[in-house]
Amino acid sequence: MAAQTAQTSTLPAMVGTEETSDAQVMLRVKTGDQSAFDYLVQKYRRPMVSFMYRMARNSAAAEDLAQEVFLRVYRSRASYEASAKFTTWLYRIATNLAVNHARDTRHERPEVTVSLDEPDEDTGTTLELPDGNLSAEQVMVRRERMLAIRRKVEALPEQQRLAVIMHKYQQMDYKQIAEVLKKSESATKSLLFRAYETLREQLKEYL
């Protein structure tokens, strides 16, 4: 997709807050502005691939699903209303797609490899460190820990899993997660509390 090579500087006129700017850009997409669409794809492609990988646990599927999200964004451009945050609208599309894919492929085996370049499952930071900072044994223990956390997150009930992925790894706040999942903020907090309590209980040996 040509959008992957677009530069954020293609829309220098966009000003204001990040969300306001995204809404303004999407309104330009609505009028047929291809450069505006390219800008949004470039800005959100990586977060979308990350989100889809955590849902699909297959790198090729994650790329395909992220591509499909942006195709659906473009096809649905005429229905976009700036009253909703662009990211809320985007993640609703992504969540629906991810949930359907997860249900369709629930019997398939996910990838189980863990790279040191992946975000750490607990902190959200990457594990890239200068050579020599980790011994071979430490690397193995860290990989085992990340894999254990990954599997426990995957085993959470669907709504809890979505909420944890959006909160922990996509850096979304309670309000935005609530809007994406179409729940109240209090219900979302309760959902996350139950999810984290479950994870803490099941991962005691790694904490």
56, 110 in Cβ contact below 8 A?
yes
Where in the sequence of the chain do the CATH 1.10.1740.10 domains occur?
Answer: 1-110
| DSSP reduced 3-state for 12 | coil
Which range among 9-23, 121-135, 177-191 has the greatest average pLDDT? Answer: 177-191
State the span(s) of the chain assigned CATH 1.10.10.10. Answer: 112-207
Please determine, for residue 197, whether its predicted confidence score (pLDDT) is greater than 50.
yes
% of the chain with per-residue pLDDT over 70? 75
Q: What are phi and psi of 126, to 5 degrees?
A: -80, 160
Sequence-separated contacts (24+) of 160-164 with Cβ below 8 Å: 160/191, 160/192, 160/194, 160/195, 160/198, 161/55, 161/195, 162/55, 162/95, 162/98, 162/99, 163/188, 163/191, 163/192, 163/195, 164/192, 164/195, 164/196, 164/199
Look at residue 119 in the predicted model and tell me its pLDDT: 46
When pLDDT is cut at 50, 70 and 90, the band that residue 134 belongs to is low
The string over 37-68, giving b where at least 16 C-beta atoms fall within 10 Å of a residue's C-beta and e elsewhere, is bbbbbbbbbebbbbbbbbbbbbeebbbebbbb
- For residues 133 and 19, the model is more confident at 133
- H helices present in 31-157, as ranges: 34-56, 59-75, 86-104, 136-154
Q: What would the mean pLDDT of 131-152 be, rounded to a whole number? A: 77
Does residue 189 sit in helix, strand or coil? helix
- Quick one: fold of 112-207? Arc Repressor Mutant, subunit A (1.10.10)
Q: State the pLDDT at residue 140.
A: 81
Whole-structure pTM over 0.85, yes or no? no
Query: Which of 3.30.70.141, 3.40.640.10, 3.40.50.2300, 1.10.1740.10 would CATH assign to domain 1-110?
Result: 1.10.1740.10
Contacts of 187 (CB under 8 A, 6+ apart): 178
As a whole number of angstroms, the distance between CA 42 and CA 107 comes to 33
Residue 7 reports pLDDT greater than 80: no
Mean pLDDT, to the nearest integer, of 147-175? 91
